[in-house]
Copies of this chain bind each other. A is one copy, B any other.
Protein backbone atom coordinates (compact mmCIF):
# COMPACT_ATOMS: atom_id res chain seq x y z
CA UNK A 1 0.00 0.00 0.00
CA UNK A 2 1.05 3.58 -0.62
CA UNK A 3 1.67 5.63 2.48
CA UNK A 4 -1.40 7.85 2.37
CA UNK A 5 -3.04 8.74 5.68
CA UNK A 6 -6.61 7.64 6.34
CA UNK A 7 -8.90 8.04 9.33
CA UNK A 8 -10.32 5.00 11.10
CA UNK A 9 -13.29 5.23 13.48
CA UNK A 10 -14.25 2.18 15.53
CA UNK A 11 -17.65 2.60 17.18
CA UNK A 12 -18.16 0.13 20.02
CA UNK A 13 -20.97 -0.42 22.46
CA UNK A 14 -19.24 1.73 25.08
CA UNK A 15 -16.55 3.81 23.31
CA UNK A 16 -15.53 5.35 19.99
CA UNK A 17 -11.85 5.01 19.07
CA UNK A 18 -10.53 7.24 16.29
CA UNK A 19 -7.09 7.15 14.72
CA UNK A 20 -5.14 8.25 11.69
CA UNK A 21 -3.14 5.48 10.08
CA UNK A 22 -0.57 5.48 7.28
CA UNK A 23 -0.35 2.00 5.80
CA UNK A 24 0.97 0.46 9.00
CA UNK A 25 -0.70 -1.12 12.03
CA UNK A 26 0.00 1.95 14.16
CA UNK A 27 -1.88 5.18 14.55
CA UNK A 28 0.02 8.42 13.90
CA UNK A 29 -2.76 10.16 15.86
CA UNK A 30 -5.52 8.74 18.04
CA UNK A 31 -8.34 9.78 20.34
CA UNK A 32 -11.09 8.04 22.30
CA UNK A 33 -14.48 9.12 23.67
CA UNK A 34 -17.39 7.27 25.35
CA UNK A 35 -20.23 6.19 23.04
CA UNK A 36 -22.79 4.79 25.48
CA UNK A 37 -26.24 6.28 26.02
CA UNK A 38 -26.44 8.41 22.88
CA UNK A 39 -29.40 8.67 20.52
CA UNK A 40 -28.99 7.83 16.86
CA UNK A 41 -28.47 11.45 15.78
CA UNK A 42 -26.08 12.12 18.64
CA UNK A 43 -23.98 9.17 17.46
CA UNK A 44 -23.86 10.67 13.95
CA UNK A 45 -22.76 13.98 15.51
CA UNK A 46 -20.12 12.20 17.56
CA UNK A 47 -18.71 10.32 14.56
CA UNK A 48 -18.58 13.50 12.45
CA UNK A 49 -16.98 15.48 15.28
CA UNK A 50 -14.31 12.83 15.88
CA UNK A 51 -13.59 12.48 12.16
CA UNK A 52 -13.24 16.27 11.88
CA UNK A 53 -10.99 16.32 14.95
CA UNK A 54 -8.77 13.70 13.27
CA UNK A 55 -8.80 15.59 9.98
CA UNK A 56 -7.80 18.84 11.70
CA UNK A 57 -4.96 17.03 13.46
CA UNK A 58 -3.81 15.34 10.22
CA UNK A 59 -4.99 17.52 7.31
CA UNK A 60 -3.33 15.17 4.81
CA UNK A 61 -5.83 12.35 5.55
CA UNK A 62 -7.63 11.40 2.33
CA UNK A 63 -10.59 9.28 3.44
CA UNK A 64 -12.35 7.89 6.52
CA UNK A 65 -13.58 4.40 7.41
CA UNK A 66 -16.19 3.79 10.08
CA UNK A 67 -16.69 0.47 11.82
CA UNK A 68 -20.07 0.00 13.49
CA UNK A 69 -21.36 -2.88 15.62
CA UNK A 70 -24.28 -3.28 13.23
CA UNK A 71 -25.56 -5.07 10.18
CA UNK A 72 -24.72 -2.89 7.18
CA UNK A 73 -25.76 -2.59 3.56
CA UNK A 74 -22.17 -2.21 2.48
CA UNK A 75 -22.63 -0.88 -1.06
CA UNK A 76 -24.84 1.95 0.21
CA UNK A 77 -23.04 2.64 3.51
CA UNK A 78 -26.37 2.14 5.20
CA UNK A 79 -26.75 0.86 8.76
CA UNK A 80 -29.59 -1.69 8.93
CA UNK A 81 -29.75 -2.40 12.65
CA UNK A 82 -27.51 -2.90 15.63
CA UNK A 83 -27.67 -4.99 18.75
CA UNK A 84 -25.95 -2.84 21.36
CA UNK A 85 -26.48 0.77 20.25
CA UNK A 86 -29.44 2.86 19.14
CA UNK A 87 -28.79 2.69 15.36
CA UNK A 88 -31.46 1.59 12.90
CA UNK A 89 -32.06 2.16 9.19
CA UNK A 90 -29.58 5.02 8.84
CA UNK A 91 -27.65 6.32 5.76
CA UNK A 92 -24.56 6.71 7.94
CA UNK A 93 -21.96 7.01 5.18
CA UNK A 94 -23.66 9.94 3.50
CA UNK A 95 -24.58 11.67 6.78
CA UNK A 96 -20.97 11.63 7.99
CA UNK A 97 -19.39 12.30 4.57
CA UNK A 98 -21.29 15.55 4.08
CA UNK A 99 -20.09 16.86 7.44
CA UNK A 100 -16.49 15.78 7.02
CA UNK A 101 -15.81 16.55 3.37
CA UNK A 102 -13.91 13.32 2.78
CA UNK A 103 -14.89 10.03 1.14
CA UNK A 104 -16.35 7.77 3.84
CA UNK A 105 -16.87 4.00 3.92
CA UNK A 106 -18.93 2.18 6.54
CA UNK A 107 -18.57 -1.46 7.49
CA UNK A 108 -19.35 -3.81 10.32
CA UNK A 109 -16.74 -3.47 13.09
CA UNK A 110 -16.01 -7.19 13.14
CA UNK A 111 -15.29 -7.15 9.41
CA UNK A 112 -12.81 -4.33 9.96
CA UNK A 113 -11.05 -6.03 12.85
CA UNK A 114 -10.74 -9.06 10.53
CA UNK A 115 -9.31 -6.85 7.78
CA UNK A 116 -6.80 -5.36 10.23
CA UNK A 117 -5.70 -8.78 11.50
CA UNK A 118 -5.53 -10.20 7.94
CA UNK A 119 -3.38 -7.32 6.64
CA UNK A 120 -1.18 -6.72 9.68
CA UNK A 121 -1.94 -9.16 12.51
CA UNK A 122 -2.56 -12.75 13.51
CA UNK A 123 -4.09 -13.79 10.15
CA UNK A 124 -1.36 -12.18 8.04
CA UNK A 125 -0.50 -14.33 5.02
CA UNK A 126 -3.64 -16.47 5.15
CA UNK A 127 -6.26 -16.78 2.41
CA UNK A 128 -9.04 -18.03 4.72
CA UNK A 129 -9.51 -16.91 8.30
CA UNK A 130 -12.18 -16.03 10.83
CA UNK A 131 -12.19 -13.45 13.60
CA UNK A 132 -14.43 -13.18 16.64
CA UNK A 133 -14.17 -10.08 18.74
CA UNK A 134 -15.78 -10.36 22.16
CA UNK A 135 -16.56 -7.25 24.19
CA UNK A 136 -19.98 -5.87 25.14
CA UNK A 137 -21.23 -8.04 22.28
CA UNK A 138 -19.47 -10.48 19.95
CA UNK A 139 -18.66 -9.37 16.43
CA UNK A 140 -17.06 -11.31 13.66
CA UNK A 141 -15.32 -11.15 10.33
CA UNK A 142 -14.75 -13.64 7.54
CA UNK A 143 -11.66 -13.58 5.32
CA UNK A 144 -12.18 -15.84 2.29
CA UNK A 145 -9.87 -16.16 -0.67
CA UNK A 146 -7.95 -13.10 0.45
CA UNK A 147 -10.85 -10.73 0.89
CA UNK A 148 -13.67 -9.92 3.30
CA UNK A 149 -16.85 -11.93 2.86
CA UNK A 150 -19.85 -9.85 3.88
CA UNK A 151 -22.89 -11.81 2.64
CA UNK A 152 -25.25 -10.97 -0.19
CA UNK A 153 -25.56 -7.25 0.70
CA UNK A 154 -23.00 -6.83 3.49
CA UNK A 155 -25.09 -7.79 6.52
CA UNK A 156 -23.56 -11.24 7.08
CA UNK A 157 -20.52 -12.37 9.06
CA UNK A 158 -22.51 -12.01 12.30
CA UNK A 159 -20.41 -14.67 14.00
CA UNK A 160 -21.66 -13.56 17.42
CA UNK A 161 -25.10 -14.78 16.44
CA UNK A 162 -24.20 -18.40 15.90
CA UNK A 163 -26.48 -20.32 18.25
CA UNK A 164 -24.70 -22.55 20.77
CA UNK A 165 -27.63 -23.51 23.00
CA UNK A 166 -30.96 -24.03 21.28
CA UNK A 167 -33.07 -22.74 24.16
CA UNK A 168 -30.37 -20.67 25.81
CA UNK A 169 -30.51 -17.21 27.33
CA UNK A 170 -32.27 -14.51 25.28
CA UNK A 171 -29.73 -12.58 23.22
CA UNK A 172 -28.90 -8.93 23.74
CA UNK A 173 -30.33 -5.66 22.53
CA UNK A 174 -32.39 -6.08 19.39
CA UNK A 175 -31.23 -9.61 18.50
CA UNK A 176 -34.38 -11.72 18.67
CA UNK A 177 -32.34 -14.91 19.13
CA UNK A 178 -31.73 -17.19 22.10
CA UNK A 179 -28.53 -18.93 23.04
CA UNK A 180 -26.40 -17.01 20.52
CA UNK A 181 -22.71 -17.13 21.46
CA UNK A 182 -23.03 -13.39 22.14
CA UNK A 183 -25.71 -14.20 24.72
CA UNK A 184 -23.50 -16.84 26.36
CA UNK A 185 -19.87 -15.64 26.04
CA UNK A 186 -19.75 -11.84 25.57
CA UNK A 187 -18.48 -9.53 28.29
CA UNK A 188 -22.12 -8.93 29.19
CA UNK A 189 -22.71 -12.67 29.54
CA UNK A 190 -19.58 -13.05 31.67
CA UNK A 191 -21.07 -10.49 34.06
CA UNK A 192 -24.29 -12.52 34.25
CA UNK A 193 -22.40 -15.79 34.79
CA UNK A 194 -20.38 -13.94 37.45
CA UNK A 195 -23.49 -12.85 39.35
CA UNK A 196 -24.80 -16.41 39.25
CA UNK A 197 -21.46 -17.78 40.47
CA UNK A 198 -21.36 -15.18 43.27
CA UNK A 199 -24.79 -16.34 44.44
CA UNK A 200 -23.76 -20.02 44.34
CA UNK A 201 -20.37 -19.42 46.03
CA UNK A 202 -20.83 -16.71 48.67
CA UNK A 203 -17.42 -17.63 50.16
CA UNK A 204 -15.59 -16.84 46.89
CA UNK A 205 -14.00 -13.49 46.02
CA UNK A 206 -16.92 -12.86 43.65
CA UNK A 207 -19.40 -13.83 46.36
CA UNK A 208 -17.78 -11.47 48.87
CA UNK A 209 -17.88 -8.61 46.33
CA UNK A 210 -21.57 -9.25 45.76
CA UNK A 211 -22.18 -9.36 49.52
CA UNK A 212 -20.60 -5.87 49.69
CA UNK A 213 -23.31 -4.69 47.31
CA UNK A 214 -21.16 -4.63 44.16
CA UNK A 215 -23.13 -5.39 40.96
CA UNK A 216 -20.80 -7.96 39.43
CA UNK A 217 -19.83 -7.18 35.81
CA UNK A 218 -17.37 -8.72 33.35
CA UNK A 219 -14.33 -6.76 34.61
CA UNK A 220 -14.92 -7.99 38.19
CA UNK A 221 -14.81 -11.56 36.92
CA UNK A 222 -11.64 -10.88 34.95
CA UNK A 223 -9.93 -9.35 37.97
CA UNK A 224 -11.03 -12.14 40.34
CA UNK A 225 -9.95 -14.81 37.84
CA UNK A 226 -6.50 -13.19 37.58
CA UNK A 227 -6.19 -13.42 41.35
CA UNK A 228 -7.07 -17.12 41.21
CA UNK A 229 -10.63 -17.05 42.57
CA UNK A 230 -12.10 -20.49 41.81
CA UNK A 231 -15.62 -19.18 41.21
CA UNK A 232 -14.35 -16.61 38.72
CA UNK A 233 -12.15 -19.19 37.02
CA UNK A 234 -15.21 -21.44 36.70
CA UNK A 235 -17.05 -18.62 34.95
CA UNK A 236 -14.17 -18.13 32.54
CA UNK A 237 -14.00 -21.87 31.86
CA UNK A 238 -17.76 -21.94 31.16
CA UNK A 239 -17.39 -18.94 28.84
CA UNK A 240 -14.60 -20.71 26.95
CA UNK A 241 -16.87 -23.77 26.62
CA UNK A 242 -19.58 -21.64 24.99
CA UNK A 243 -17.14 -19.74 22.81
CA UNK A 244 -15.41 -22.94 21.74
CA UNK A 245 -18.75 -24.52 20.80
CA UNK A 246 -19.37 -21.67 18.37
CA UNK A 247 -15.87 -22.21 17.01
CA UNK A 248 -16.66 -25.91 16.41
CA UNK A 249 -19.58 -24.89 14.19
CA UNK A 250 -17.52 -22.25 12.41
CA UNK A 251 -14.44 -24.36 11.69
CA UNK A 252 -16.63 -27.24 10.45
CA UNK A 253 -18.28 -24.81 8.03
CA UNK A 254 -15.33 -22.66 6.90
CA UNK A 255 -12.22 -24.79 7.40
CA UNK A 256 -10.22 -21.60 8.00
CA UNK A 257 -6.43 -21.59 8.27
CA UNK A 258 -6.70 -19.77 11.59
CA UNK A 259 -9.33 -18.40 13.99
CA UNK A 260 -8.41 -15.09 15.62
CA UNK A 261 -10.04 -14.06 18.92
CA UNK A 262 -10.01 -10.37 19.82
CA UNK A 263 -11.87 -7.84 21.90
CA UNK A 264 -11.72 -6.93 25.57
CA UNK A 265 -12.64 -10.44 26.73
CA UNK A 266 -9.30 -11.69 25.42
CA UNK A 267 -7.69 -10.06 28.44
CA UNK A 268 -8.68 -13.36 30.12
CA UNK A 269 -5.88 -14.95 28.09
CA UNK A 270 -5.26 -18.68 28.29
CA UNK A 271 -7.93 -19.11 31.00
CA UNK A 272 -10.41 -18.44 28.19
CA UNK A 273 -8.48 -19.53 25.09
CA UNK A 274 -7.56 -22.99 26.32
CA UNK A 275 -11.13 -24.20 27.07
CA UNK A 276 -12.21 -22.75 23.70
CA UNK A 277 -9.39 -24.56 21.91
CA UNK A 278 -10.26 -27.79 23.72
CA UNK A 279 -13.79 -27.74 22.26
CA UNK A 280 -12.33 -27.41 18.75
CA UNK A 281 -9.80 -30.19 19.33
CA UNK A 282 -12.37 -32.55 20.85
CA UNK A 283 -15.55 -31.80 18.88
CA UNK A 284 -14.69 -30.58 15.36
CA UNK A 285 -14.36 -32.91 12.40
CA UNK A 286 -10.98 -33.87 11.01
CA UNK A 287 -8.97 -31.94 9.78
CA UNK A 288 -10.76 -28.86 11.17
CA UNK A 289 -10.07 -30.05 14.73
CA UNK A 290 -6.49 -28.89 14.25
CA UNK A 291 -7.43 -25.29 13.36
CA UNK A 292 -5.21 -22.89 15.33
CA UNK A 293 -7.15 -20.57 17.65
CA UNK A 294 -4.98 -17.54 18.46
CA UNK A 295 -5.28 -14.17 20.14
CA UNK A 296 -5.57 -11.06 18.00
CA UNK A 297 -2.27 -9.20 17.63
CA UNK A 298 -3.48 -5.67 17.02
CA UNK A 299 -5.23 -5.48 20.39
CA UNK A 300 -8.01 -2.97 20.98
CA UNK A 301 -6.84 -0.97 17.95
CA UNK A 302 -7.69 -3.71 15.40
CA UNK A 303 -11.10 -2.27 14.46
CA UNK A 304 -9.78 1.29 14.09
CA UNK A 305 -6.80 0.12 12.04
CA UNK A 306 -9.09 -2.01 9.87
CA UNK A 307 -11.44 0.95 9.36
CA UNK A 308 -8.52 3.09 8.21
CA UNK A 309 -7.28 0.25 5.97
CA UNK A 310 -10.71 -0.09 4.36
CA UNK A 311 -10.76 3.67 3.75
CA UNK A 312 -7.41 3.33 2.04
CA UNK A 313 -8.55 0.36 -0.08
CA UNK A 314 -11.66 2.31 -1.11
CA UNK A 315 -9.62 5.43 -1.84
CA UNK A 316 -7.20 3.42 -3.99
CA UNK A 317 -10.13 1.90 -5.86
CA UNK A 318 -11.55 5.37 -6.45
CA UNK A 319 -8.22 7.03 -7.26
Contact = CB atoms under 8 A, between A and B. Distances in A.
State how many copies of this chain the complex holds: 2
Nearest to A255: B151
A151 B286 contact: no
Given A71-B287, A161-B249, A249-B163, A128 B155 contact: no
A128 B152 CA distance: 6
A150 interface: yes
A118 to B, nearest CB: 14
Interface stretch (A35-43, A240-248, A263-271): A240-248
A177 interface: yes
Interface in A161-179: 161-166, 168, 175-178
Contact of A256 (B80, B151, B246): B151
A38 B81 CA distance: 52
A287 B159 contact: no
Nearest to A159: B253
Nearest to A258: B152
A260 to B, nearest CB: 15
A294 interface: no
Contacts of A242: 166
Contacts of A165: 165-166
A63 B86 CA distance: 56
